[in-house]
Amino acid sequence: MDPEMLTVVNIREQLSWVHEKSVAATEKAKVLIEGAVEKAAVVRSYPTQRQKVVKRAVVIGGGIAGITAAIDLADSGLQVELIEKTESLGGRVLDKPVSYEAEDLPSLLNEKMKAVRDSKKIHVRFNSEIKQVEGCAGDFQVTVAAKGKEETIAAGAIIIAVGAQEERTDHETSERIIALSDFEKDLFKPGSLVAKGKSFVFILCVGSRTEERPFCSRVCCSDALLNALKVKEINPDSDVFVLYRDIMTYGFNEELYTKARDAGVIFVRYDLETYPKVEVVDSRPKITVRDPLLNEAFCLRPDYLVLAFGMDPSPAVAIAKTLNLRITEDLFLEEANVKFRPVDLPKDGMYVCGTAHSPMSISEAITSAHAAAARAGTLLSKDYLPARSGVAEVNKRRCSACELCITACPFEARYMDYDEMIAQVREHICQGCGTCTAVCPNGASTLRRYEENDIFAMLEVLT
Ligand code: SF4
Ligand code: SF4
């Protein structure tokens, strides 16, 4: 059935859920149905553009999420171009020795990297960057730059998995003040140097949950507690302090917190106003912190101070700029709909996974990658995409070629046909938002299903 010919009356949400008096609600339902019948009598069918689907996906970002999505798509028989800006795959997980979710993280990553290497369907482009994306769902033209050369790849779907990076804010420097990500690389290897220390202080939320970076990075607490537990396992007599604002060991990670307490890790809370003061005195860190329970400041002189930095969404901001995508107030990529389309981007045919979307753990990034690959695979399984229902169209006789709609369209779905001197609509890109109809000074731009005839036919009954 032509979806343009379908008229829906929403009796549940607009009637039974909002009216207590059933008789009045029934009367309203009758009128609304009558209006819909009148509208159905005048709606018309439209010729629609069909979009041929290029059976190839571009995955941007070769971290664990990007690799996972690429493998899933390749396993479905689809060609994948995996674009990685560095010279190796793995992203932030590449030399991370352990995770609180996967004890043998290197094996997990190696397995995935081997699957990429062995796949005949995945073509990896290292040291490559996305320069531009044109086209629409089913037929994108992705321009990739590498070694000073540019190449355009045709793809039906795009998955963005550019990840986030560690936000290393300014801090006192000393060989005894170490970022958590560096500390764990040493701690978990045989013959660890840092494990020879006798006292350790971990500061959580360094550079996170501030005015500039208001979000919680979700993984630093659990990572830090895993390291604190490892220190206690190697040297049960060591002194381990964790200075925290809130412990975000959500879900089953709460066990890390209870285990750390049982192992003798001492937790001291601080807030933004009483942020621990860090100095280096006699080559050793000196941390002054105020305990809110005792309401007293005290000093710690550990062998090692470990700083748990949060996530920096700069890669998401950069790709959003290149692809003209929306970002959230936390500067991550914004999905089309948080409940119903959580891995879809507002532009049809584009999907997001991993920490480009929001702070998440490795297992959550992998899960989101499976979801994004499933969504992209569904689109790529079709030979043709129909235009969506309710797109804009232009009345040729009324259009004065003023181009206001072209500038106003937030999805770049309008272009000027200079031969005909009228604005045209790329139906596969149009989201039916109606912005062009609002700005058109001549009433030349209309939305299918919301034309004057349709609306007035309904109003005749309702008024
Ligand atoms: S309805 Fe929205 S997306 Fe479609 S052409 Fe008009 S402004 Fe662009
Ligand atoms: S705003 Fe209206 S009149 Fe101007 S180019 Fe667009 S459709 Fe034509």
User: Which string of DSSP letters, residue by residue, matches 70-91?
Assistant: HHHHHHTT-EEEEE-SSSSSBG
Which CATH number covers residue 187? 3.50.50.60
pLDDT of residue 226: 94
Give the position, in ligand 1's atom list, of the atom nearest the Cα of 433: 2
Q: Among candidates 57, 313, 309, 310, which has minimal Cα distance to 162?
A: 313
The residues near 104 (Cβ < 8 Å, ≥ 6 apart) are 98
Chosen domain end from 347, 369, 384: 384
**Beta-bridge partners for 152:** 143
pLDDT of residue 99: 84
- CA-based R_g, the chain, Å: 28
Residue 452 lies in a domain: no
Q: What is the pLDDT of residues 213-256, one digit of tens each?
A: 899 999 999 999 999 999 999 999 999 999 999 998 999 899 99
Residues 228 and 295 in one domain: yes
Give the position, in ligand 2's atom list, of the atom nearest the Cα of 414: 6
What does the block give as tokens for 48?
Answer: 């629609």
Chosen domain end from 258, 287, 309: 309
Residue 455 lies in a domain: no
Rounded CA separation 35/27 (Å): 13
Residues 68 and 137 in one domain: yes
Q: Which domain holds residue 32?
A: 1-46
Amino acid letter, 43: V
Residues 152 and 33 in one domain: no
Distance (angstroms) between ligand 2 centre and the Cα of 77 equals 43
Residue 442 beta carbon below 6 angstroms from any ligand 2 atom: yes
Low-confidence ranges of the chain (pLDDT < 50): none
Q: How many domains, the chain? A: 4
pLDDT of residue 89: 95
Distance (angstroms) between ligand 2 centre and the Cα of 434 equals 13
Distance (angstroms) between ligand 2 centre and the Cα of 424 equals 9
Give the position, in ligand 2's atom list, of the atom nearest the Cα of 442: 3
Residues 98 and 151 in one domain: yes
Rounded CA separation 180/288 (Å): 20
> Which of 395, 397, 398, 402 best tests ligand 2's pocket when mutated (most atoms within 8 Å of CB)?
402
Residues 173 and 234 in one domain: yes
Distance (angstroms) between ligand 2 centre and the Cα of 435 equals 11
Residue 462 lies in a domain: no
Residues 430 and 298 in one domain: no
What does the block give as tokens for 129?
Answer: 């960057």
Measured at the CA of 304, the angle between CA 300 and CA 306, to 5 degrees, comes to 95
Residue 454 lies in a domain: no
Residue in the block written with tokens 């689109």: 379
Residues 96 and 192 in one domain: no
Residue 458 lies in a domain: no
Chosen domain end from 285, 309, 333: 309
Residue 435 beta carbon below 6 angstroms from any ligand 1 atom: yes
Residue 459 lies in a domain: no
Residue 109 lies in a domain: yes
Residues 380 and 398 in one domain: no
Residues 336 and 319 in one domain: yes
Residue nearest to ligand 1 atom 4, measured at CA: 430
Residue 293 lies in a domain: yes
Ligand nearest, relative to CA of residue 409? 1
Rounded CA separation 432/54 (Å): 24
What does the block give as tokens for 370?
Answer: 């499976």
Q: What is the pLDDT of residues 347-394, one digit of tens each?
A: 999 999 999 999 999 999 999 999 999 999 999 999 998 777 789 999
Which CATH number covers residue 396? 3.30.70.20
Residues 336 and 377 in one domain: yes
Residues 395 and 280 in one domain: no
Q: Three-state DSSP class for 409?
A: coil
Residues 194 and 276 in one domain: yes
Residue 445 beta carbon below 6 angstroms from any ligand 2 atom: yes
Rounded CA separation 328/348 (Å): 18
